[in-house]
Amino acid sequence: MAASFFVFALQFFSFGVDSAFKFLMKHLLSFLGYIFAHTPENALKGLCDFVAHFILKFMKRRAAVAYSNVSHCFPDIPEAEMRNIVFESCSRMVEMALFVIASPHISKENLKGRVKVSERVLSELRSHAENPRPIVLMIPHFCMMETITMFPILVDIPTPKVGVFYRPFDSPSLESWVKSSRERFGIELLSRKKGLSAAVRFLKSKGVVAILYDQNSGFNGALSLFFGRYCSTSELPGILVERSKADVGIFYARRTGFWRSEVDGEILSSRTVEEVTFDGNMWLENHLKEDVIARYDWLWLHHRWNVFCYPKTILNTRHSNSRSIVEYSLRRMGIDEVPRLSRIYVNSPASFSDTLAFLPLVKLLRKSRQDCTVTLICPKDFSGAVDMFGIADSVMAAPPETAAKSEKRAFYKLVAKRYPDLYLSLRDSKFDDAMSALVNVQFSFAISYGRARKNFRHVVAIDAASAAEHVAREQEFFLRSLGLEGESDYSPLCLPGISHKPNAGEFEIALILDGVGARNWNAKKWGELIRILSSEIDGVKFALFGRPEDDIAAFEISAIDCPADIVSYAGRLDARGFARRVLSSSAAIGCDCDFTRISNALGIPTAVIYGPTNPLRDGLVFDAPKCEILPPQAPAQGGVDIDSLPADMVASQFLKMVFNKERELKHD
């Protein structure tokens, strides 16, 4: 019955004994059991605490599972209390393992003094003696649950025939030891592999069948909810109840001291498979919420919520087993959809343009994993620009690339304390490999451009053919390889509460400069463009945008002799301010920079002037009117010369884009 604790005991005490010598384990366990049974309790408690400290210190991946589980179930408790719960749970897990080994060497009188039975259970037992009926008991993973096997010697009232499901061992010696130690008080162990027919016989004879029900049942269980999160729960209790018309109840041991407990339980009103499965999960959830001591007793180290865990399907919520009681659970809980309580963290690309192109996939990711929130980890210099679109549930501002390694390590340790369930890395660097180890998440996935990556559960390689496509296609390929479902949508984004609404009766063009460097068009070219557009569009106005270093160029441009109104905002607006202001513009022309990409993302008709950029990989991605203008090659310099681009070419392509849009609007 206490298979998980027993396996832990074997692992802890065998120290890697080869399978060929498993027959020695029976004698080793017997010897250790005798030692533990005659060791003072204070020393045993110290041993349990020592092993708990060892687990938390040196088995960090396993400890992280427990911390994550507690954090998800009780997100509002202080960190100190969470650590206390995890430590006590680990210590009491070891306590149970020691008790499993020592109990065969403890006298019945001693055991009866340690274990009590609640008056509620005694009352139900008297009722059963007067009116025998089949009962299915669901047993949760509490610390002293092993004492339930002693139930027949704890009461003077006649007890029904009891069978308990357990997972048998391959070793005949271990199997013999387990059965002899568990069955000495009168219960019968029922193999999970062959015990179903025996369980039916027990129930037909108005006996009792007990089942550990709160383990992860994998693909054999029904997709269900526990603490509002997807899990897999065995339907075996419900099947037995429904087919045999049996009563069903919760049976558990409440720890009252070291190797001491009170056996308690209650009868449920459930009758169908769905009711039994749902009510069992809800009883345990409510019990853990209401009883602080129960939180210390429950086994937090196990993977209760690992229902979507295969790399190729982890980004969707389809379960291989078609059985699901999720819709039934939502109706019983009075809610319309599964809460977003699981957590996906994405280490975004290092550039703003690549991260902006990833936002439509974030929308799709939230649809494909509707049970998860998505947090983007972005460099601090553009995290605010990403956050303003409100696509991700949250955005974390990471230290810049130039920050000290110690600062970056401290940041990723902070990420680890948020206990992500999935961690996706869209950056391919050795530093990010090292940081993934600090995040210490069970399910971590990375994109790779040809090199081996460490510390990730699964790596998706981008081949040469895929690498020739746009970066957004690579990002989508990465997520599709992990099971992302649905159609990607690159329609324009919106700022919360604000839409694109040009001023009535005005045609304003946003001109977006880009500081100094090879990507910036010179002020003379901008002046020529303004004159051409002023002659082609009646009453046109211009608004200049750029970074602080664009201030001088903007001053020169705004001072040109031109009948059009020219207002400069260069250096005065950050990304959020630019986004709000550009929504008043009718169209935009800009160099390849963050502001220009924001304009495209917001659905503003945008013409982009490229410098030394590869538009095949880094072009505008959002489905809004756009034209991408490339300058001619400059063979003498061996590259692209943006200043060689004629202003009339830019004006011609821009006007074609705008007029096409106007004609489409008139046609509509």
pLDDT band for position 582 (cuts 50, 70, 90): very high
Asked whether residue 455 is domain-assigned, the answer is yes
Tell me, yes or no, whether 70 and 165 share the same domain. yes
Closest CA to 49 of 100, 87, 5: 87
Tell me, yes or no, whether 467 and 514 share the same domain. no
Closest CA to 391 of 431, 347, 361, 426: 361
Tokens read off for 616 = 């095949």
Position 661 scores a pLDDT of 41
Say if residues 607 and 626 touch (Cβ distance below 8 Å). Answer: yes
Tell me, yes or no, whether 270 and 376 share the same domain. no
**pLDDT over 60 (residue 553):** yes
Asked whether residue 499 is domain-assigned, the answer is no
Torsion angle of the four alpha carbons 167, 168, 174, 179, in this order, in degrees rounded to the nearest 10: 90
Torsion angle of the four alpha carbons 267, 271, 277, 281, in this order, in degrees rounded to the nearest 10: -30
Tell me, yes or no, whether 399 and 518 share the same domain. no
- Between CA 438 and CA 640 the distance in angstroms is 42
Tell me, yes or no, whether 44 and 113 share the same domain. yes
Asked whether residue 500 is domain-assigned, the answer is no
Tell me, yes or no, whether 473 and 541 share the same domain. no
Q: Pick the more confident residue, 89 or 4.
A: 89
Pairing of strands 565-568, 540-545: parallel
Element (H, E) at 286: helix 273-290
Residue 313 CA: distances (Å) to CA of 5, 318, 366, 454: 31, 8, 15, 21
Residue bearing tokens 């089942």: 211
- Between CA 262 and CA 574 the distance in angstroms is 64
Residue 605 CA: distances (Å) to CA of 194, 262, 471, 565: 69, 72, 22, 20
Q: What is the pLDDT of residues 482-523, one digit of tens each?
A: 999 999 999 999 998 787 777 767 899 999 987 656 678 888
Q: What is the pLDDT of residues 269-287, one digit of tens each?
A: 999 999 999 999 999 999 9
Position 43 scores a pLDDT of 97
Tell me, yes or no, whether 283 and 136 share the same domain. yes
Q: What is the pLDDT of residues 413-458, one digit of tens each?
A: 999 999 999 999 999 888 889 888 999 999 999 999 888 998 999 9
**pLDDT over 50 (residue 6):** no
Angle between helix 3-14 and helix 79-102 axes, rounded to 10 deg: 80
**pLDDT over 50 (residue 169):** yes
Asked whether residue 102 is domain-assigned, the answer is yes
**pLDDT over 70 (residue 592):** yes
pLDDT band for position 640 (cuts 50, 70, 90): low
The answer, as to whether pTM is greater than 0.85, is yes
Asked whether residue 357 is domain-assigned, the answer is yes
Q: Pick the more confident residue, 250 or 612.
A: 250
Position 18 scores a pLDDT of 45
Asked whether residue 313 is domain-assigned, the answer is no
Asked whether residue 333 is domain-assigned, the answer is no
Q: What is the pLDDT of residues 186-208, one digit of tens each?
A: 888 888 777 788 888 889 999 99
List the domain range (segments joined by +) for residue 413. Answer: 342-480
- Between CA 610 and CA 602 the distance in angstroms is 20
Tell me, yes or no, whether 176 and 36 share the same domain. yes
Q: What is the CATH number of the domain that holds 660?
A: 3.40.50.2000
Pairing of strands 633-634, 229-233: unpaired
Neighbours of 97 (CB within 10 A): 25
Say if residues 545 and 570 touch (Cβ distance below 8 Å). Answer: yes
Residue bearing tokens 């603490």: 227
> Where is average pLDDT lowest: 133-142, 393-402, 629-638?
629-638
pLDDT band for position 466 (cuts 50, 70, 90): low
Tell me, yes or no, whether 590 and 657 share the same domain. yes
Q: What is the pLDDT of residues 370-404, one digit of tens each?
A: 999 999 999 999 999 999 999 999 999 999 878 88
Highest mean pLDDT among 89-98, 549-558, 649-658: 89-98
pLDDT band for position 182 (cuts 50, 70, 90): confident
Highest mean pLDDT among 172-186, 226-240, 641-655: 226-240
